[in-house]
Structure 1
Amino acid sequence: MKRQKRDRLERAHAKGYQAGLIGKSKDACPYEMVDAKGQWYGGWRSAVEERVTGLETH
């Protein structure tokens, strides 16, 4: 995979993660391309899981 494409997908994942941390809805995904959208959702899911797990441990 080209570095530029990988960087773009990594950025989409990071943006999704940040959105999940602050509690944004999954519908807030700004991406249209399937690859980027999948990465954004993956980051969002990771953050939501961490938030839920963090709440359960307190």
Structure 2
Amino acid sequence: MKTQKRDKLTRAHAKGYQAGITHRSKELCPFRAIQARSEWLGGWREALTDRQSGLVGR
């Protein structure tokens, strides 16, 4: 049985979160589609908040 891929918006959010955790600039968002870009930036902002709250290592 094949494994189903996560949908693109979920992947965009996860990639944005990873970029935020690793201190990458939000200007480096690889997505052009508005919805995917919005999800990526949402993940990036979530990571920024988590970093500032001390929930993740530096």
State TM-score, norm by structure 1: 0.82
**Matching residue of 2:16:** 16
Q: After TM superposition, where is structure 1 displaced by more than 3 Å over at least 4 residues in a row?
A: none
State percent identity of aligned pairs.
53
**Matching residue of 1:34:** 34
Mapped partners of 1:7, 1:37: distance in 2: 14
The answer for unaligned runs of 5 or more in structure 1 is none
State TM-score, norm by structure 2: 0.82
Mapped partners of 1:11, 1:32: distance in 2: 14
Please state which structure has a larger fraction of its residues in helix: 1
The residue type paired with residue 36 of structure 1 is A
* Pairwise CA RMSD: 1.7
